[in-house]
Amino acid sequence: MQPWRTILDLIERDGAAALVTVVELTGSGPREAGARMVVAKDGTIAGTIGGGTLEFEAIECVRGLIKKGASAEWRTVSLGPALGQCCGGRVQLLHESFDASDRDWIAPLAATKSEINLRAERGTDGRYRRRLARHALHTGETVRRDETALLERFGAGLTPVILFGAGHVGRALVKALEPLPFSVRWIDERPDAFPAAAPGNMEIVVSALPEAELNDAPTNTLVVVMTHSHGLDLALVAAALEDPRFPYVGLIGSGSKRAQFVRRLVSEFGIPKAEIARLVCPIGVHGISGKEPAVIAAAVLRTARHWGEPLRPQLDDLIQDTYLKLCEGDSRLLRSFQPRHEDSIYGFLKVVAANVVHDHFKSALAAKRGAGQTEAIMETVQMSPKTAGADGFDAVSQRLQLEHLDKILTQLTAGKDQARKRAIFWLRHRQGLTASEIASIPSIGLTTEGVESVLMRLAAMIRGHLFSSTPHREVKVLPRQSRSKRSGS
């Protein structure tokens, strides 16, 4: 995130914006000194100072500042029980609000694409105004308060990225990189391919010779190639691999495209295979082969809504946590996944995403109520407080608490397969997975028809228990062939 670009955009859109800066941290805290968060009039944020009550209260404070007009105030916060946070440290925050009167001095800062050092001096009105300056902040230091001013560094530690291609995938990548510590040169030869406005950490470059843009790139720049032309892709990849300054060269495409490119890179460009090892193709998390990775975002959103309407920053964090879960242990989960059909990866991703979200909210609930007091219905499949799903269970959910229903299910499924039967039931009726998606989970160990059979039997058993005054007896479900014969006789 480039704070000044974001602030200027908000001033243009809303007439005002606010900035929260962690200036000092004593002891332990959720974010380091120099962490910044931009806040819009409506409370929307870019960046974070660590979440939790600290961030929530900071957002409310600066929204109040915005209503007062351009102003600044200092706030010292202890991160203890009174705040509902257990870090134990203390942070000093600078709250600032800006309006249209600040546009002229903010605009040059917003236009800067590289690292800048600023000196912020406090005026008679109590506000800080920045100017470019040379000062001796230590390596890794991004803010320091002295006797007369605030010394700041912006843009420090940004990883340079060159992105070739402004198609739909390039646009999606740009949006994903916006809040992350990257500075991106976004290159395409088609001027009409770019959106009307780009994020603050992007520099749009229209170039008829895209390969030439690599010449002045800084060392350790990450190169990502996803243009509209395979021929141009090949030329760009070759130019990047021939230059040792670029540790990462990513190429959009399939495994077969990689194999074709490798042959041509060796035969036509004479690039050694040791250098070709830097080529990452297909791009993405190893094991996620679907062309619609938004399935993770959709699963996170759907599951989070079971716990209430989530905030956008919260969703972003949960999506990131899902990817981290998939990547941990050298992608252990993905490597152990055994696909049963072409689309089974989608069901697997939905399960992982749902479990990450439920873990998050259950932990938050436990922290609020006291550790160990969260009421979890089952441990093998993460649950949520959503009412039961389709297939005739809406009426049941209106009559029974979830705990009651799960007790009935536990009673009816007593035996060695109890955990699996309960998992199948809740995956279908709480998380909305189809039978084929459930069957794709390795631990289930059943075919799609097997899962369907279990669901039919459980449905019949529960209905029999709920609506019959006689003691429960298992209801036999005839195979499809037998049912069709009976109905025809």
State how far the Cα of 127 lies from the Cα of 272, in Å rounded to an integer. Answer: 58
State how far the Cα of 443 lies from the Cα of 351, in Å rounded to an integer. Answer: 12
Pairing assessment for the beta strands 222-225 and 248-251 based on DSSP bridges: parallel
Query: Positive or negative CA dihedral for 71, 76, 80, 86?
Result: positive
pLDDT of residue 271: 93
State how far the Cα of 487 lies from the Cα of 132, in Å rounded to an integer. Answer: 84
pLDDT of residue 187: 93
Q: Is 291 exposed, middle or buried (0-12, 13-18, 19+ CB in 10 A)?
A: exposed
Which H or E run contains 285?
Answer: none
Beta carbons of 296 and 322 less than 8 angstroms apart: yes
How far is the first Cα of the chain from the last one, in angstroms, to the nearest whole number? 70
pLDDT of residue 270: 94
Q: Give φ, ψ of 380 to 5 degrees.
A: -75, -30
pLDDT of residue 96: 94
- pLDDT per residue, tens digit, the chain (489 aa), is 678 888 998 999 999 999 999 999 888 777 888 888 999 998 888 888 877 778 888 999 999 999 988 889 999 988 766 655 556 678 899 999 999 999 999 988 887 766 788 888 888 888 888 888 776 677 667 888 877 788 888 876 678 899 999 887 788 788 777 766 788 889 999 988 888 766 767 788 999 899 998 998 888 899 999 998 889 999 999 999 999 999 989 998 777 888 899 999 999 999 998 899 899 887 765 544 444 455 666 667 677 766 666 666 666 667 767 777 776 665 677 767 766 665 667 777 778 888 888 777 766 655 544 433 323 323 334 344 343 333 434 433 344 456 667 778 888 888 778 888 888 887 777 666 778 777 777 667 788 888 888 888 888 787 777 665 444 444 444 454 444 444 444
DSSP 115-144: -EEEEEEE-TTS-EEEEE----PPTT--EE
Minimal CA–CA distance to 209: which of 231, 238, 187, 186?
A: 187
pTM summary value: 0.46
C-alpha distance from residue 417 to each of 408, 413, 414, 445 (Å): 15, 7, 8, 11
pLDDT of residue 373: 34
Query: What single-letter amino acid sits at 159?
Result: T
Cα within 13 Å of Cα(49), Cβ side: 29
Specify the 3-state DSSP secondary structure of 154: strand
pLDDT of residue 397: 39
State how far the Cα of 221 lies from the Cα of 185, in Å rounded to an integer. Answer: 10
Encode pLDDT of 282-315 as tens digits: 776 554 444 445 566 666 767 776 666 666 666 6
State how far the Cα of 114 lies from the Cα of 242, in Å rounded to an integer. Answer: 26
Q: Omega before 471 cis (within 30°)?
A: no
Q: Which domains does the chain have, with CATH numbers?
A: 3-154 (no CATH), 159-280 (3.40.50.720), 294-369 (no CATH), 394-486 (1.10.10)
Calculate the CA dihedral of residues 421, 425, 430, 431 and round it to 10 degrees: 70
| Overall size of the chain counted in residues | 489
**Cβ atoms within 10 Å, residue 364:** 13
Task: Give the sheet arrangement for strand 128-132, strand by strand.
Answer: 128-132, 116-122, 149-154, 143-145
Specify the 3-state DSSP secondary structure of 165: coil
Beta carbons of 291 and 261 less than 8 angstroms apart: no
* 352: CB partners within 8 A, 6+ apart: 322, 325, 326, 333
Beta bridge partners of 202: 184
Task: Give the sheet arrangement for strand 71-78, strand by strand.
Answer: 45-47, 36-39, 16-26, 90-99, 71-78
C-alpha distance from residue 3 to each of 48, 150, 237 (Å): 11, 16, 33
State how far the Cα of 485 lies from the Cα of 488, in Å rounded to an integer. Answer: 5
**What letters, b where the CB count within 10 A reaches 16 and e where it falls short, cover 139-148?**
eeebbbbeee
Minimal CA–CA distance to 164: which of 174, 155, 154?
A: 174
